[in-house]
Chains A and B, each alone.
Chain A
């Protein structure tokens, strides 16, 4: 029973971190209509920034800055936000599928840098010994899991409330206008370029923050964590929860993560040992099938506005 409670806290923490990423995507796609499929790249930038700044000295890469965790998270948001702002600036003239291809390319570049710039990122071995919040109570798993869940809930809630305020504000109204008709928004005196870059930067900063929170939650990161599968999962979460809704982004993350974990546990239980590696692909199939079913039943997602 105690184990189950601890696992529940662990599960919810992981899911809410995905919820954070989905909140960032909702600002970019749900509100502004920017087709970002480079999510994994911005998450990775945040994760590596905080990991390198806070972890102890390592032999084969830069490090040993020993920053406090919160400073690392702040730096992660700022650096990921800056990378996203640059991406937004470089893609000002691109729309829909062309924008998607470019952001995808950015994520691939980030992942390759993480894999090969050994002196900065530790290369394929990643960064280990990332300080975990409440490490002093690690010997009591339940307490430890719940303390971490508290941190994740607090961060998610803060970001959620800030985004709710923004999406109801005149600032959010301009972003929705850009989503509907960019030229008309310009005719009304709005600088489409400036707002696009802002939406990229704020959304990317949130993704970077989520990456940092996740890195400190697990304590270890490697380039394999930031493959396009991550981007796919987050998109599935936003679609299921309802694009345009912050509540939907968080709830969609919990639901899709439950399906992901559930299908993983199921394949592990029923598939014989020598086929396990291949059966892992079934997880992606499960998400795809669930996505189709949910969208057939409710095309706008749980909380999306009906068009």
Chain B
């Protein structure tokens, strides 16, 4: 069954269609790769799915619900988490606070609850803390939990983002270039953690230029070019497909 489905998505910026009638169906528990040359519309596709950009036309369904009109800050609660191409941790806040902020529908985030139900707020906060520490443990950042996020390297920030998005218990995680700027040793940790989380039933869609990572993680790859679907298939099929090679090297080769 499809956990995430996009039908005929189009996004126009003025006269230019960044995404032009894309349809996509992601099965529950799948790791789907989304590749394509620069400017193919991959990140815009993510923005549409995550709700930070509103589609010109088309629809998006998450776990059977039409979320096309839902604003970005509702989609995470609805089960769709995303990380950014350039990670955006809160630099002055501790790693622990960074992860805790991703928790959805916390009683303590309501003003009056802190005075009317302090016991419940404290209990939820304790549970959230335990979970956040376990997630930081998972991405090997637990020993830095009290440090401000600005001390992290680029690769560590990607891992922090992964822990943060996991805190919201998403059904689907959209990863935008998780491997970019990550050193090879840390990349192995990242791949390993994605597999581990995926084994727990979480579905992934990832945009990635690192073809080695994509073929190791993804069972299926969708190739975009000029806002449209170009090809769809297993990694070994994609690597041999003349149209894909043409799109990547087009005009040069």
B-chain residues with CB within 8 Å of residue A171 when the two chains form the complex: 108-111, 114
Tell me the minimal C-beta distance from B86 to chain A in angstroms: 11
Tell me the minimal C-beta distance from B43 to chain A in angstroms: 14
Pairwise interchain contact B114-A189, C-beta atoms closer than 8 A: no
Q: Which of B99-107, B192-200, B211-219 contacts A (4 or more CB under 8 A)?
A: B99-107
Pairwise interchain contact B125-A190, C-beta atoms closer than 8 A: no
B-chain residues with CB within 8 Å of residue A191 when the two chains form the complex: 73
A95 within 8 A of B: no
Contacts across chains A and B counted by CB atoms under 8 Å: 84
A-chain residues with CB within 8 Å of residue B91 when the two chains form the complex: 180-181
Tell me which residues from 94 to 138 in chain B have a Cβ below 8 Å from any Cβ of chain A. 97, 100-104, 106-111, 114-115, 118, 121, 125
A307 within 8 A of B: yes
A196 within 8 A of B: no
Q: Which of A166, A180, A190, A198 contacts B93 (CB 8 A)?
A: A180
Pairwise interchain contact B52-A187, C-beta atoms closer than 8 A: yes
B-chain residues with CB within 8 Å of residue A307 when the two chains form the complex: 92
Tell me the minimal C-beta distance from B181 to chain A in angstroms: 18
Tell me the minimal C-beta distance from B1 to chain A in angstroms: 25
B-chain residues with CB within 8 Å of residue A184 when the two chains form the complex: 88-90
B-chain residues with CB within 8 Å of residue A176 when the two chains form the complex: 90, 92-93, 97
A174 within 8 A of B: yes
B-chain residues with CB within 8 Å of residue A192 when the two chains form the complex: 73
Q: A71 to B89, alpha carbons, bound, how many Å?
A: 45
Tell me the minimal C-beta distance from B125 to chain A in angstroms: 7
Residues 167-208 of chain A: 1 if any B CB is under 8 Å from the residue's CB, otherwise 0?
A: 001110110110111011111111110000010001000000
B168 within 8 A of A: yes
B-chain residues with CB within 8 Å of residue A180 when the two chains form the complex: 90-93
Q: A50 to B111, alpha carbons, bound, how many Å?
A: 25
Q: A187 to B164, alpha carbons, bound, how many Å?
A: 11
Chain B interface residue count, CB cutoff 8 Å, equals 35
B-chain residues with CB within 8 Å of residue A187 when the two chains form the complex: 50, 52, 72-73, 76, 82, 84, 88
B77 within 8 A of A: yes
CB closest chain-B residue, reference A180: B90
Q: A192 to B50, alpha carbons, bound, how many Å?
A: 17
B74 within 8 A of A: yes
Pairwise interchain contact B73-A189, C-beta atoms closer than 8 A: yes
Q: A58 to B97, alpha carbons, bound, how many Å?
A: 54
Chain A interface residue count, CB cutoff 8 Å, equals 26
Q: A198 to B113, alpha carbons, bound, how many Å?
A: 14
* A189-B77 contact given A173-B97, A184-B88, CB 8 Å threshold: yes
* A189-B121 contact given A162-B115, A165-B114, A180-B92, CB 8 Å threshold: no
B-chain residues with CB within 8 Å of residue A179 when the two chains form the complex: 92
Tell me the minimal C-beta distance from B168 to chain A in angstroms: 7
CB closest chain-B residue, reference A244: B92
Tell me the minimal C-beta distance from A92 to chain B in angstroms: 14
Q: Which of A169, A181, A185, A190 contacts B114 (CB 8 A)?
A: A169
Q: A165 to B112, alpha carbons, bound, how many Å?
A: 11
B-chain residues with CB within 8 Å of residue A173 when the two chains form the complex: 93, 97, 100-101, 109
B-chain residues with CB within 8 Å of residue A198 when the two chains form the complex: 111
9 shortest interchain CB distances as A-B pairs: A170-B108, A180-B90, A189-B76, A184-B88, A169-B114, A170-B109, A189-B73, A170-B106, A188-B102
B residues engaging A (CB < 8 A)?
Answer: 50, 52, 72-77, 82, 84, 88-93, 97, 100-104, 106-111, 114-115, 118, 121, 125, 164, 168
8 residue pairs of the A-B complex, CB under 8 angstroms, read A165-B114, A170-B106, A173-B93, A176-B90, A176-B97, A180-B92, A181-B90, A187-B52
Given contacts A170-B106, A188-B168, 15 further A-B contacts (CB under 8 A): A166-B114, A169-B114, A170-B109, A170-B125, A173-B93, A173-B97, A173-B101, A177-B93, A177-B97, A179-B92, A180-B91, A187-B72, A189-B75, A189-B76, A189-B102
A residues engaging B (CB < 8 A)?
Answer: 162, 165-166, 169-171, 173-174, 176-177, 179-181, 183-192, 198, 202, 307
